[in-house]
């Protein structure tokens, strides 16, 4: 009897302690809410989770739309225990991203949790980032992109062959999956120097590993823990828990090291990112021997980090752009016909090259309207590196400015009838009327998307080749309107099912 009384007493004591701790947490949250002190409007945070609960419930893009609609263009929110300013005011965005970019040069990063990605451009900070960006930038110069064109041409031919195969068999297909395979093959060839051939072999070992990276969701426990307690998440990482699959990271690291060794031994040479990095190493060594000047190069971890960033950033975003583009082609047949007629007029049956692709102005408008309506990345961040005056508010060093791209792209004041697909919004006349910060598909400022031109070129090549030979149509499984997933990258929830018909028919 005494044992049970003691047990009940301990249980009651623990319960009282928990209630007291929870009450103290709520009191502390309400009285020390930094946004209340500085006057930035926003919702009362949900204990421990902040807006994470609503993001899981509604989806990031819907929750951002609701927050901006209710509280305005500057909103103070909590993601777990992190204080975030959701900023969509165009003038203040121009200051943060461009005019005063020196004060917001860094992005938010999950340090201690993402392995090799910590050495990538998305995570590097200050001078480390500047140095890496300067070394990597030549990869995406006009000359280098033209040199990579033949590699893109090969993968776009395989993409075309798949569409023709479906057309001849009269089979419907998920354009999202095919676009992912195309993006993976193109990035693997142009940046890693490897032939993934996922368009022809969906079950290849490398393909399985890479697809595993993109199964992440807010249901991933370590991600939830990171938002609530970054310190605890980093501790769990040391115990083997990771945001990214460890076996995949080990596989990619070993694969890249093999490629680097072959290139350094001059056993093979390609016009790709890895070769550019090896050539830079050799040039720096030569210059040091000649002049004695020390110049920074990227080590193997940093090269792997950049390669993984390009893979992660390019695979899902490029395939998302292409998927929604073809969805628009199917649901807006008049627009598809205009794109086709422009291709016939400007290129016809001639060889597709970067120069004549740049003459397809209506195609550009359609792609930009696709990116407006379905921005692949619906949030990006900047971190204040010192105290800063943001409009009427004084924010502190370390504050995170998060840019909600989806609400900006669907603002009815800037974009009348925002849910209607109107390519003419991006005519030169209409663009001149708008604030430059009203379209942020690739971010802006010095930390904008470094691979923007690469992504647009690979997408355009595949699109032009496809529309010359097939017409894209809706099928019985096409969702109208389409249902979207709840992740940070905007993707269709159930895929995008379409049909292709040969033009000759």
Give the residue ranges of the annotated binding site for heme.
449
Distance in angstroms (rounded) separating the CA atoms of residues 260 and 278: 8
Q: 379-383 and 497-502 as β-strands: parallel, antiparallel, unpaired?
A: unpaired
Q: What are phi and psi of 425, to 5 degrees?
A: -60, -25
For residues 25 and 392, give the distance between their C-alpha atoms in angstroms, rounded to a whole number: 29
Evaluate whether 105 touches 126 at the Cβ level (below 8 Å): yes
State how far the alpha carbon of 221 is from the alpha carbons of 13, 225, 233, 241, 312, in Å.
Answer: 29, 6, 9, 9, 20
Q: Point out the annotated binding site.
A: 449
Distances (CA, A) of 213 to 189, 208, 249, 280: 19, 9, 9, 29
Two structure tokens written together for 134:
């300067």
Q: Judging by beta carbons within 10 Å of its beta carbon (0-12, 13-18, 19+), is residue 243 exposed, middle or buried?
A: middle
Q: Distance (Å, rounded) from C-alpha 165 to C-alpha 493?
A: 25
Kindly tell me the sign of the dihedral angle through the C-alpha atoms of 247, 252, 253, 257.
Answer: positive
Token couple for 314: 């390019």
- Residue 131 contacts residue 296 (beta carbons within 8 Å): yes
d(CA 113, CA 489): 20
């Amino acid at each position: 009897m005494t044992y049970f009384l003691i047990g009940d007493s301990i249980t009651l004591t623990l319960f009282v302690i928990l209630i007291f701790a929870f009450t103290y947490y709520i009191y502390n949250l309400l009285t020390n809410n930094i946004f209340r002190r500085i006057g930035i409007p926003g919702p009362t945070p949900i204990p421990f989770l902040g807006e994470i609960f609503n993001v899981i419930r509604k989806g990031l893009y819907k929750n951002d739309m609701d927050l901006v609609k209710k509280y305005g263009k500057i909103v103070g929110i909590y993601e777990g225990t992190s204080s975030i300013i959701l900023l969509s005011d165009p003038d203040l965005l121009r200051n943060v991203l461009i005019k005063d970019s020196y004060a917001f040069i860094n992005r938010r990063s999950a340090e201690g949790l993402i392995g090799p990605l910590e050495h990538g451009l998305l995570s590097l900070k200050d001078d480390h980032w500047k140095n890496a960006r300067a070394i990597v930038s030549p990869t995406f110069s006009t000359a280098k992109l033209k040199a990579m064109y033949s590699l893109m041409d090969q993968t776009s031919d395989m993409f075309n062959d798949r569409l023709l195969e479906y057309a001849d068999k009269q089979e419907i297909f998920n354009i999202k999956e095919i676009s992912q395979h195309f993006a993976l093959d193109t990035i693997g060839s142009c940046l890693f120097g490897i032939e993934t051939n996922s368009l022809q072999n969906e079950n290849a070992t490398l393909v399985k590993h890479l697809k595993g990276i993109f199964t992440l969701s807010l249901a991933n426990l370590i991600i939830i823990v990171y938002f609530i307690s970054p310190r605890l998440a980093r501790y769990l990482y040391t115990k083997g828990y990771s945001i990214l699959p460890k076996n995949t990271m080990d596989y990619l690291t070993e694969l890249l090291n093999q490629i680097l060794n072959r290139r350094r031994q001059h056993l093979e040479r390609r016009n790709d990112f890895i070769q550019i990095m090896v050539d830079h190493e050799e040039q720096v060594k030569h210059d040091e021997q000649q002049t004695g000047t020390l110049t920074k190069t990227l080590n193997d971890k940093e090269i792997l980090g950049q390669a993984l960033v390009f893979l992660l950033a390019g695979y899902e975003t490029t395939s998302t752009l292409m998927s929604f583009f073809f969805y628009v082609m199917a649901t807006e047949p008049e627009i598809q016909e205009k794109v086709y007629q422009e291709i016939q007029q400007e290129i016809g049956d001639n060889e597709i090259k970067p120069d004549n692709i740049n003459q397809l102005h209506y195609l550009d408008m359609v792609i930009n309207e696709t990116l407006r309506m379905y921005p692949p990345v619906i949030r990006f961040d900047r971190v204040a590196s010192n105290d800063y005056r943001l409009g009427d508010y004084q924010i502190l060093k370390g504050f995170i400015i998060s840019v909600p791209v989806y609400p900006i792209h669907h603002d009815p004041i800037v974009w009348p009838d925002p849910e209607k697909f109107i390519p003419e919004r991006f005519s030169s006349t209409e663009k001149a009327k708008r604030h430059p910060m009203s379209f942020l598909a690739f971010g802006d400022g010095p930390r904008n998307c470094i691979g923007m031109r690469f992504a647009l070129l690979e997408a355009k090549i595949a699109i032009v080749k496809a529309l010359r030979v097939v017409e894209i149509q809706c099928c019985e499984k096409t969702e109208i309107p389409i249902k979207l997933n709840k992740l940070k990258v905007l993707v269709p929830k159930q895929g995008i099912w379409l049909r292709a018909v040969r033009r000759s028919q």
